[in-house]
Amino acid sequence: MDIRFFGIKNPWRTGANVVAPTIRRKVLELLPLWLADDEIVVIHGPRRVGKSTLLQAIVRELLVVHGVPNTDVYFFDLDTLDCSDVLASPSTLID
């Protein structure tokens, strides 16, 4: 994966403001419960139903509302990027 594409999908990691929908979704109320749990949360569904939009809203919620450090939030768009090399060796993403 070209690391430049990673930066485009994760602009908050370099201090840029988070651009995400401000539409409140009921599912965001579950975020504190997810953060308190060590389980993996999977978001799945048909194409074009708002999964990526929801993930962008979750990123915004994590950074703005919950104060998670910007270097601790990663977004991978597996539809458009070949992330297999990064996922095979995640240490390449450590700042």
The type of residue at 13 is: R
Which stretches within 1-95 are classed as H helix? Answer: 3-9, 31-36, 51-60, 84-88
What is the residue-level pLDDT of the chain in tens, covering all 95 positions?
555 666 777 888 888 877 666 666 787 788 788 878 877 777 888 988 888 888 888 888 888 888 989 888 888 776 665 666 666 776 766 65
Q: Find tokens 């070209």 and name the residue.
A: 2
